[in-house]
A and B are shown apart, each in its own frame.
Chain A
Amino acid sequence: MDDVIIRVENLWWKYNTGREWVLKGVDFRVAKGEIVGIVGPSGVGKTTLCLCLTGLIPREVRGTIKGRVLINGMDTLTTPLSEVIKKVGIVFQDPETQFVTMRVLDEVAFPLENFGFPRDEILKRVEEALRVTRMTEYSDKYPFELSGGQKQRIAIASMLARRPEILILDEPTSDLDPLGKQEIFSVLSELRRRYGVTLIIVEHDTEKLARFADRILLLYDGRIIEQGPPREFFRDVPFLMEKGVYPPQVTEVFYRLNGLNREFLPTTLEEAFKILDTLSVGDSLSPSFPRKGRQSGEPIIVMEEVEYVYPDGTKALKGVNLKIREGEFVAIIGQNGSGKTTLIKHIVGLLKPTKGIVKVFGMDTKHIDISKLAWKIGYVYQCPDHQLFCTSVYEECAYALRNAGMSEEEIRERVGRVLGIVGLSGLEDVPPYFLSKGQRQRLAVAAVLAMEPEVIVVDEPTTGQDFVQSKGIMDLLKKLNESGRTIIVVTHNMRLVAEYAERVVVLKEGRVIADGDVRDVMGDFELLRSTFLNPPQVTVLARKLVPVTVLTVEEMCRIIMGGVCVGER
């Protein structure tokens, strides 16, 4: 490999607080200007590896290290950290913890000031970084009160402005709307093209990596167990799935088809289109797929002309009218900052409308005691850490039940049941903060489930989770929906929306711009694009063949081969 800029040699790392080695002999090199994606299930050491590449490990984090990391020839063990970080920038997973100032513009300018850039250059770079991240109009805002996706954009803009030689991004786009994701990846590619920046991107979204990365590494159990250019990397679909990595949908579709040459599995939509052009498929098919939405059930949540204005004057909801019926599985989607979280906070009573009425089970939320309403509507936060406050997993689930004065026997029975449902049985005595993020998310769901609410509202359940965990949570919600509960989910993951939701509500700038059956909404590409969303790959792929809306890999396979697939999940 020519012009190596990162060299990781037999790297081992163990935190002082842990017994196990997190990294167990990681070896790889990265060439100058290369875009390298790192994938792997949650908890395998991806963030730890990122910290090693910045020099923060071992300089600022305590633990035991073996092997070495060379950045542009500098050994991170012996070179002062201040020298290493001149070359390396990193965007961490949680954008909020990276904010050190109170204004978006100041936040993006802060590193440039520290590195001594002249004022004119700072202003020029800040303006450019905010423009490419679509955050110019937010430059005067307080970063902590932006939406999750907007916060991520600011964190990215702050590093884009710096233009370091090496930029590491640790799940930088998990909260971004789909087109926003694409824009960020395009900007990163442009950054490489224009300034030769080397990029290391940890990402669960394999569709994006397949399109933008030169090479992908699979980190599993502290080791790199597979690596290669996207087309080679995604060839062994069962192996990747077994390791918790889901390939792009188009790759999965063509892998599942009988009789096609698997040596040429496509990894991007463009490649898949080319293969479709060479095949004569679908001529004899006139497929039809059922609508998923149901119209039965009583409306239990009614919003009429709801408006909401935040203290800074931001109008987050502008005349929202919405009815949600008992037993529905509703996904609320929309671009970053479109008002999704504000909307669901009205449903659970945490926010009261500035204008209009929100009625839940026939009661106006303005006059309801939220602690009582919580027994009817459970709310799972985007960040589980704000929701867990007890000393053990058991106590966390028992908390609300004790508040209601239930008997210990009844509590034990209910807690045992909900822990079983979310797969946390056996961890009753573990303090919640010792669980992985995925487990904490499931515990937050369990704590709400224990209250047996009729409606469960979940805000971005898949953020920071690998695909297997995300599917696990959605499977759980589906099961609860089938048992009669109403589910409302806010998410950007269009693949999961298509697979699980029945009805989709699309928000744009505080207004509901579409509300209907998932198949109708996903089929309206123009509508989705207008709010920075993208239909799933299979939906786009199928449209080339037939004028129907396909939602899943299985449906796509049926279209192409009349239902003949292999390797059903």
Chain B
Amino acid sequence: MSRTFFIYIEEKSPLLKLHPLLKIISLLAINLLAWIIDSLTALLCAIIAVFLSFKFFKIPLARIGRFIVFAVLIVQAVMLSYLLGSTIPGNIVYYRFPWGTYISDMTLIYAFTMTAKFLLMLWGSTLLLAVMRDIDIVYGLVSMRLPYYLAFTVNLAFRLSTVFMEDYAKVRDAMILRGTNFSEKSLVQRARNYVRLGTPLMVLAIRRMFEMTNALIIKGFEPGRSRTYLYDFSLTIKDKVILLLLVAAVVLAFLLKTFYGLLTFPGWPFNG
């Protein structure tokens, strides 16, 4: 098993072995595609493809249970915001709210489309972040010609978030061992418990920041200093082909939408 930022992944997962640059470009490409494509059918196809990729690339869905909960919450929020707060004209109006907004047949399609966009972004990013390691961020960004110290700093942001999550788990356990019930029925009490959890986390985070800064200095990390690299991540022909396909997919989606009216939302632009 290999440890990525957030979970353990089987060593033989093909996605884990992907070139760091390709991991970052794939992440960008999926998000760009989700942003460009407005066709619900195309988006649903893409979501299904991403979903199947989890299985194909051996990413254990059970280990990202918390992300799934998060994704469901986002979907609910997007849906609700369109249903309760939009004025999208359509052929049939199902319901008018006292505050002036309404739900039409197009509102439903539009809400589903936007939800699908968010889902594609979330699932696509989850798929790729699940296989992302520190060296992927660093080497990926360096091969995009970003200075090493900037690439390393971006990686540190991810690292600190995982360290924070580990500290969170430890402090939470300690609180449970002192009789705290985090599944408390009272929301106020539950909120109070989480606020209390924040105090040691903040202190630990500040302390870690100072100590990590010192450790980096002592280990010779310095902006502008030339360095050598342990790994040699040069792009193979296969990598170059994948890179080309990713770029082509984004460009193609953009051209199809802009010049041929494909992949667009039916009835766009609305003329209300």
- Would B200 and A385 count as touching, CB distance under 8 A? yes
CB contacts (< 8 Å) of B156 on chain A: these are 100
Cβ-defined partner of A312 (8 Å) among B8, B177, B199: B8
CB contacts (< 8 Å) of B218 on chain A: these are 54, 56, 85, 88-90, 111
By beta carbon, the residue of chain B nearest A381 is: B174
CB contacts (< 8 Å) of B81 on chain A: these are none
- Would B174 and A115 count as touching, CB distance under 8 A? no
> Is the C-beta of A275 less than 8 angstroms from some C-beta in chain B?
no
CB contacts (< 8 Å) of A372 on chain B: these are 179
- Would A311 and B63 count as touching, CB distance under 8 A? yes
Tell me the A388-421 residues at the B interface (CB within 8 Å).
388-391, 399-400, 403-404
Cβ-defined partner of B230 (8 Å) among A109, A142, A313: A109
CB contacts (< 8 Å) of B177 on chain A: these are 348, 350, 370-371, 374, 378-379
By beta carbon, the residue of chain A nearest B175 is: A389
Which of the candidate stretches B122-130, B205-213, B233-241, B244-252 sits at the interface with the other chain? B205-213
* Bound complex: CA A387 to CA B167 (Å): 11
By beta carbon, the residue of chain A nearest B197 is: A389
- Would B204 and A100 count as touching, CB distance under 8 A? no
Cβ-defined partner of A158 (8 Å) among B2, B163, B216, B219: B219
* Bound complex: CA A389 to CA B168 (Å): 12
> Is the C-beta of B257 less than 8 angstroms from some C-beta in chain A?
no
- Would B220 and A313 count as touching, CB distance under 8 A? no
Please judge, given known A-B contacts A97-B211, A312-B1, A371-B180, whether A389 and B219 are in contact too, CB under 8 Å: no
By beta carbon, the residue of chain A nearest B7 is: A311
Please, what's the 1-or-0 string for A85-99, where 1 marks a CB less than 8 Å from any CB in chain B? 110111010100111
- Would A387 and B174 count as touching, CB distance under 8 A? yes
By beta carbon, the residue of chain A nearest B134 is: A102
> Is the C-beta of A475 less than 8 angstroms from some C-beta in chain B?
no
Cβ-defined partner of B178 (8 Å) among A111, A115, A451: A451
Tell me the B178-209 residues at the A interface (CB within 8 Å).
178-181, 196-197, 199-200, 203-204, 207-208
Interface size for B (C-beta < 8 A) is: 53
CB contacts (< 8 Å) of A387 on chain B: these are 171, 174
- Would A390 and B214 count as touching, CB distance under 8 A? no
CB contacts (< 8 Å) of B215 on chain A: these are 92, 97-100
Please judge, given known A-B contacts A94-B211, A370-B177, A403-B179, whether A114 and B230 are in contact too, CB under 8 Å: no
- Would B228 and A85 count as touching, CB distance under 8 A? no
- Would B8 and A385 count as touching, CB distance under 8 A? no
* Bound complex: CA A348 to CA B174 (Å): 11
- Would A374 and B203 count as touching, CB distance under 8 A? no
> Is the C-beta of A466 less than 8 angstroms from some C-beta in chain B?
no
Cβ-defined partner of B171 (8 Å) among A101, A115, A140, A389: A389
* Bound complex: CA A113 to CA B219 (Å): 9
Which of B1, B204, B212 has the most chain A CB atoms closer than 10 A to its own CB? B1
Given known contacts A111-B218, A386-B200, A403-B180, what 9 new A-B pairs fall within 8 Å (CB)?
A82-B220, A97-B207, A97-B215, A102-B3, A113-B227, A122-B230, A312-B8, A313-B8, A386-B204
The chain A residues found within 8 Å of chain B, CB to CB, are 51, 54, 56, 60, 81-82, 85-86, 88-90, 92, 94, 97-103, 105-106, 109-119, 122-123, 140-142, 144-145, 158, 311-313, 348, 350, 370-372, 374-375, 378-379, 381, 385-391, 399-400, 403-404, 433, 447-448, 451
List, sorted by A's number, 22 A–B pairs whose CB atoms are closer than 8 Å.
A82-B225, A97-B212, A97-B215, A98-B215, A100-B212, A100-B216, A101-B134, A102-B3, A102-B133, A110-B219, A113-B230, A114-B221, A122-B230, A142-B3, A144-B163, A311-B7, A311-B8, A374-B177, A378-B177, A386-B174, A387-B174, A391-B199
Closest 10 CB pairs of A and B: A114-B220, A97-B211, A142-B3, A403-B179, A111-B219, A400-B178, A98-B215, A386-B170, A387-B174, A389-B200
The chain B residues found within 8 Å of chain A, CB to CB, are 1-3, 5, 7-8, 63, 133-135, 156, 159, 163, 166-167, 170-171, 173-181, 196-197, 199-200, 203-204, 207-208, 211-222, 225-230, 232
